[in-house]
Every structure is written in structure tokens, then in C-alpha cells.
Amino acid sequence: MNQPASSATAPALRRMLVPLALAQFICSFAGSNMNVMITDISHDLDTTVQGVQVAITLFLLVMAALMIPGGKLTDRWGRKRCFTLGLWIYAVGAVLSALSPGLGVLILGNSILEGVGTALLIPPVYILTTMLFTDLKSRARAFGVISGMGGVGAATGPLIGGLITTAISWRAAFVFQALVVVTIVFLARGIHDPVAPDPTRPFDTVGAILSALGLVIFVMGILAADSSARLMALLLVIGAGILGGFFVWIRSRERAGKEALLSTALFRNRTSNLGLVTQNVQWLMLMGTSFVVSAYLQVVRGYNAIQTGVIFTAATMGILVSSLAAGRLARRFQQRTLILAGFAITIAGVGFLLGIVKHSPSPWAFAPGLLLIGLGLGVMLTPSVNIVQSAFPEERQGEISGLSRSVSNLGSSFGTAVAGTILVSGLTTPTRSYALAMIVVGIIGFVGLAATLFLRTPETAPVGDAIS
């Protein structure tokens, strides 16, 4: 018998929050830790920097492409069951990645299996949090913990990955992921699903295929930019066409009175739409900067994994500091104000990273810019999530959670694909390509800032406070 959310005590809720937050941490960690292993993996598996970039981007893309179907399946299979199944698939993928003899097996383990596992386990994290924490104040605090752990995971990925890679091997970093996931499975035993699953609920298979295929082909078009402009244009057009067909399909199902993979009503909420734009841009800036700076330091300046990871402690400290202060900031400022400030600080950090590359040979010259990016992202990650999730009632949480996580992970894949492709395609003139990649990231940051200027939300609860 499932325990209703309202009957759970505060200590029980805190215990259930721990595995949910750890799950977000390890998935975000996986998205960034490979950035410091670029040289080691390419040498060990006899591949190129571009090959490793493809593996990283595909992992993020598989997550984005399958997050909406993953969120929808929680209604049919149950949130706890999807969470646990996703964890086990992820663990198998991590072990396979650790044992991979070549790039193909690494892509199967890391990009495919870990991506599929993440797409199954992440939507339940946000759905369960919304359902278990029924009042807005405790829900906002819970989102603060989860979003903060996501940001910390992404920021510490290079440091922890660099330490493990230098001390042991890049393969041991995947063993570390598998061990953390098994620990989460153990801790998740006490999680109770507030709502029983409905096995008879229909699933839009055609919609799932169209959405996933369209996203994959579109991002592959971006990755093809450095090989053929004609191929890039063809893939972008095909991908956009399939995504257009997806929206026509779900609209036709709704008109026929059938359940679609994604309700078009989700896109009629102006506040949610703008919040989704800010989420996409935030993760694009974080992952784009992480890949570009990591690749530049390793490939161009010749730093090893630990040296590169240590430099990224600045971003980690920035996210930690701003996440810890988020509760106090939220009591004094509106959510929109925090997101605006976050973008302004992050864009300033990108500007600093852009300005120092020609003027200082020291790797520590990157630290102030990374610190600012960490501070800015830590300030705005939580309010963006809370704005989107709280814009819809409980019966829409499966859909909006899947859409929200899909948009965020799509931002991560765009960041690695767009900025990474610009850098990789111009490694013959590394300083110029680095500068161009960072300029693109900064321009996209202004898009997020502009979206926030039009954001209007009622301020109903503080966000980002720590669970006490």
C-alpha cells in the first residue's frame, strides 16, 4: 500500500529526498566528468577529440530525447518503479563503459545505456518531489536541494573525474558512478509512490518515436558542421521537419480525444515557456563552457586530467556558495530577480574567460571567470525549476517534469555540440576558435537574460533554502 504524501513525517520526507538528490547529482556529474578525460580516452581507445565529443553529446542527447517519454511512462509503470529501473540500467551502462575496448562500446555503455537510464530515473525525481512535498515552501526547499546537487554534480564532475583519472584510470570514474548508483538503490528502498500507477493508461508510441528521432537528427546536424555544411543543413532541415510532424501528430491525437505523448496545453503557459527557455540556456552555458575550457586546457595547453579538474574547483565553489546562500537570497528577492542576477553574473564570467586567454599563460587566470559562472548558475537554477514545476497541477506533473528535464538536457547537448563543434573544427587556430566558441556561449546567455525580462510570476514561496 502506497503511503500518501500528506501522512509522511518531516524526517521521513528528508530521508526520501536524499536518494532523489543523489540521483540528480550523479546524472549531472556524468554529463561533465568526461570533459577532463578527453586526452586519456582518445589515446586509450585510439580515437580523436571529436570522437569523445560525439560520445559526450550523444549521452546528453539521449537523455533529452527520451526524457518526455520517460516522464510519461511514470504514470503507467509507477514513479518508484521507473526510478529504480533507470538506476539499474544506468549502473549496467557505467560498468560496460569501464570495460569498453573501443569508442563503439563506450558509446553503447555511456551514451546509450546511461542516457536511457537517466531518462527513466530523472523525471520521477521531480515528480516525486512535487507530490511528496505538498506545501509550496517545503517543495521549494526540496527543489533547492535537488537543483543545487545537480549544479554541484556538473561542477565537480571535472574535479572528481580528474582526480580518479590521474590517480587510477578514466575507467575507474565509471566504476565510481556504478557504486554511487548502487548506493542510491539501497537508500531508495524507503521511497513511497504517492499515487498508484495505471497500467491501462495509453502510451503514444508514434509520438515518442517522432520526438526522439527529430531531436537526435537535429543535434547530429550541429555535430556535422565541421565536416560538411551541406550535410549539416540537410540534417537540420530533416530534424526540424520531423519535430514539426511530431507537433502535428500530438495535436491530431488531442483533437481525436486520444492521449498524446505531450499535451499542447503545456505550451500555452507563458510563465512556464519562458522558464523553460531560461533552463535550456543555463545548462547550455554550463556544459558549453565546461567542454570548451576543458578541451582547450588539455589539447592546446597540454594539461592533464587532474590539473584541468583542479581549475574547475572555482566553478564548484561558486555553485556551492550561491546554493547555500539561495535560501537567504530568496527571502529578500523575487525569483525573477534572482534569475536576472544569475544571468548577468554568468555572462560576466564568460566575458572574463574570453578576455584572459590572450593575456595570461597561467591556467589560474581561468579561475575568476569560472567562479563567476558557478555563482551565477547557483543563484538561478532553483528558481527556474520551481517556476516551471509549480505552474501546473498534480495531474500534469509527469508531462511537465519530462518536458522540463528534456529542455534542460537539450540545453546541455546543445552546449557541447555547438560550442564544442566550433572549438574542435578550429583547433588549427586554437585561440581564435576558443574565442569564437565563448562568444557564442555569451550571446546565447543574453537570450536567456532577455527571456527573463519578460518573465512575470506571482511570488508564492521562497526558493532554494536548505532542508532543515
Residues 6+ positions from 30 with CB-CB distance below 8 Å? 59, 110, 114, 118, 157, 177
Confidence check: pLDDT of 97 > 50: yes
Higher pLDDT, 136 or 43: 43
Q: What percent of the chain has pLDDT over 70?
A: 89
CB 52 within 8 A of CB 298: no
- Give 429: exposed, middle or buried? Use CB within 10 Å, 0-12, 13-18, 19+: exposed
pTM score, whole prediction: 0.76
Residue 99 and residue 105: Cα distance in Å, rounded? 8
184-228 pLDDT, tens digit each: 999 998 888 888 887 888 888 998 899 889 988 888 887 776 667
Cβ–Cβ < 8 Å for 310, 440? no
Taking residues 364-389, what's their average pLDDT? Answer: 85
C-alpha cell, 109? 555503455
Find all residues with CB under 8 Å of 92, minimum gap 6, and list them.
109, 113, 117
Got the DSSP string for 278-327? HHHHHHHHHHHHHHHHHHIIIIIS---HHHHHHHTHHHHHHHHHHHHHHH
335 pLDDT band, cuts 50/70/90, is confident
Task: Look at residues 410, 412, 332, 404 and name the one whose alpha carbon lies nearest to residue 377.
Answer: 412
Residue 111 DSSP label: I
pLDDT in tens, 412-436: 777 877 777 777 766 567 778 888 8
Each residue of 173-192: pLDDT tens digit?
999 999 999 999 999 988 88
Q: Contact at 8 Å (CB) between 409 and 215?
A: no
Q: What does the pLDDT average to over 318-337?
A: 78
